[in-house]
Amino acid sequence: MDTRRIGSLEVSVVGLGCNNFGGRLDAEATAAVVDAALDAGINFFDTADIYGRTKSEEYLGQALGRRRGEIVLASKFGMMVDERRHGARPEYVRQALDDSLRRLGTDYIDLYQLHRPDDTVPIADTLGALDDAVKAGKVREIGCSNFSVDELREAEAAVRPGGARLVSVQNEYSLFFREPEQGVLAECERLDIAFIPFFPLASGLLTGKYRLGQAPPQGTRLTEGRFSSELNDKKLAKVEALIAFAEGRGHTLLELAFSWLLARPVVASVIAGATKPEQVQANVGAAGWRLTAEEMAEVDGILG
C-alpha cells in the first residue's frame, strides 16, 4: 500500500478507525478486525480514550500484542471520559497520556492528538505539556482534531522555541461534508500539517448500501440515533448519481469516496472504521483510483 507522511511518521494511505472497539465489537471481534488490517497492509491505527468508554484502547492493545512496533499508533485525549477526566490542562494531559499508555499496553504513542479545542486553557500550556511528553519519549508526534484555521494558527504561534508542534489535524471531510475546503486544507498546506479526514464515508452514506427508493438496512448508524437525519431523498439522489459516475468508469462508490479524498496531497491517510474483516479489505482496495482533474470537476458538478 502507498504511504504518506505525518510529521516524521510514515503511514498507510488507508488507516483503521478504532471507534467500534469496545462498543459494537468485543475483544475477540476487535482482534479479528485488527488482524485483517495488518494482513492487508494497514499500519495506521487511530483510537481515542473515549472510544468504547476506554475499552477501545484496551482491546486494541491486546489485539496488537507483540506486533505493536509494526504500526503507527494514534490516540486522542480531551473529550469527557467522566466528570474528572476531560479537557487540556497540563496536569490532565499527563494523566490522560499515562492512562492511555497503560490501557494500550505500550510505553509510547506515535501520534497523540488533542481531540477538540479547550478554550478554558491557553493552547501554549497544553502544547508545553505535550512537548514534555515528546521529550520524555512517551509521544513521537502531536496533533489535534476539530480545529479551525484560527485555532491552527494560534497553536503554531504558541510553540516553544525548539518545541513540538502540531503535525496533523483530524477533521470531518467527505464528498458530502466539504467544510475543510473553506480554509483548513489551505492552512494545512501552508503550515505543512497533515490532514486526516474522519467520517470519510459520511457515516455509511458512501458505502453503497443506502439506495434511493429502497428500504435502508436496519441497525446501522444512519437508521439510528443522531445521524438519522442524514438519510433523505435529496442526498440519496446524489448517491445514485455518484454511483453511476463511478460505475461508468469501472469503479465503485466506495472507491470514489476514498480516492477523491486521496486526490488531495495534504490528506495523509483516510481512516475508516470496520466491524468485520471484509470491510477492512474493501476499504484497502478502495484507494487505488487516480482521479483526473476532469473527473474531480465532474464530481463537483454532481454534488452541486
pLDDT tens column, 11-46: 999 999 999 999 999 999 999 999 999 999 999 999
Q: What is the arithmetic mean of pLDDT over 157-184? A: 97
* Residues 6+ away with beta carbon under 8 Å from 173: 179, 180, 195, 197, 198, 199, 200, 261, 267
Q: What is the arithmetic mean of pLDDT over 201-227? A: 78
Strands 9-12 and 44-46: unpaired
Which of 76-85, 185-194, 225-234 is the most confident on average? 185-194
Residue 219 confidence class, pLDDT cut points 50, 70, 90: low
- Phi and psi dihedrals of 145, rounded to 5? -145, 145
Q: Which residue ranges form the domains of the chain, and what is each CATH number?
A: 3-205+253-289 (3.20.20.100)
139 pLDDT higher than 90:
yes
List the alpha helices (DSSP H) in the chain: 27-39, 55-64, 90-104, 123-135, 149-157, 184-191, 233-247, 253-262, 277-284, 293-303
Q: Which residues are catalytic?
A: 51
Q: Per 3-state DSSP, what percentage of the chain is helix, strand, and coil (rounded to 5)?
A: 45, 20, 40
- Residue 44's DSSP bridge partners are 72
294 pLDDT higher than 90:
yes
Enter the pTM of the model. Answer: 0.94
DSSP structural state of residue 199: S
Percent of the chain with pLDDT over 70: 96
90-137, pLDDT tens digit by residue? Answer: 999 999 999 999 999 999 999 999 999 999 999 999 999 999 999 999
Residues 129 and 125: their CA atoms lie apart, in Å, by 6
Residue 223 confidence class, pLDDT cut points 50, 70, 90: low
33 and 4 Cβ atoms separated by less than 8 Å: no
Residue 163 confidence class, pLDDT cut points 50, 70, 90: very high
Can you tell me whether residue 260 is helix, strand or coil? helix
Residues 186 and 275: their CA atoms lie apart, in Å, by 33
216 pLDDT higher than 90:
no
Residue 232 confidence class, pLDDT cut points 50, 70, 90: confident
Integer angstrom CA distances of residue 154 from 48, 136, 157, 184:
24, 25, 5, 13
49-72, pLDDT tens digit by residue? Answer: 999 999 999 999 999 999 999 999
Residue 210 confidence class, pLDDT cut points 50, 70, 90: confident
Residues 133 and 35: their CA atoms lie apart, in Å, by 30
